[in-house]
Amino acid sequence: MARHSIVLEADVTIAPNVYFTDHNHTYADPWLPVGKQVLQGFSVRVGAGTWIGTNVVVLPGTSIGRNCAIAAGAVVRGDIPDHSVVVGVPGRVVRRWIDGEGWVPPLTNEVVVVEGWPVGVRPTDE
């Protein structure tokens, strides 16, 4: 739902039932219904090559970097660095590619599971 600015860069893949919003109601006057109070807009940006899983919620003011993977059901807000894997509610970065270092934490020969989600596998080098 856009009232301010939602930008999806090139090659973004969006699974079913993803919700983007770039605004929220203020709650300045406790005597006025929240739905009648002022809407504040905060830009949302999704970087090129990012994949967003089923039922993800992207909140106002979120900036997702390039080539990220956002796991199904995550609730994302804030700044997500390039090449990050995000899972959970609230969404958090559980793995990231860093130039000169590779994947942090490193990929292993076993399936790495965080909060029930597989976030990395590397085949055995034999």
Residue 25 catalytic? yes
Strand 23-25 to strand 39-41: parallel, antiparallel, or no bridges (unpaired)?
antiparallel
Tens-place pLDDT, residues 11-56 = 999 999 999 999 988 889 999 999 899 889 999 999 999 999 999 9
Question: Residue 115's pLDDT is what?
Answer: 67
What CA–CA distance (Å, rounded) separates 40 from 98? 34
| This prediction's pTM | 0.81
Please give the structure tokens belonging to residue 7: 């930008």
Question: Residue 123's pLDDT is what?
Answer: 46
Tens-place pLDDT, residues 93-117 = 999 999 998 888 766 556 666 667 6
Q: Which residue ranges form the domains of the chain, and what is each CATH number?
A: 6-120 (2.160.10.10)
Which of 94, 11, 21 shows the shortest CA–CA distance to 61? 21
Residue 124, helix vs strand vs coil: coil
Considering only residues 123 and 117, tell me which one the structure prediction assigns the higher pLDDT.
Answer: 117
The active-site residue, picked from 4, 23, 25, 83, is: 25
Residue 116, helix vs strand vs coil: coil
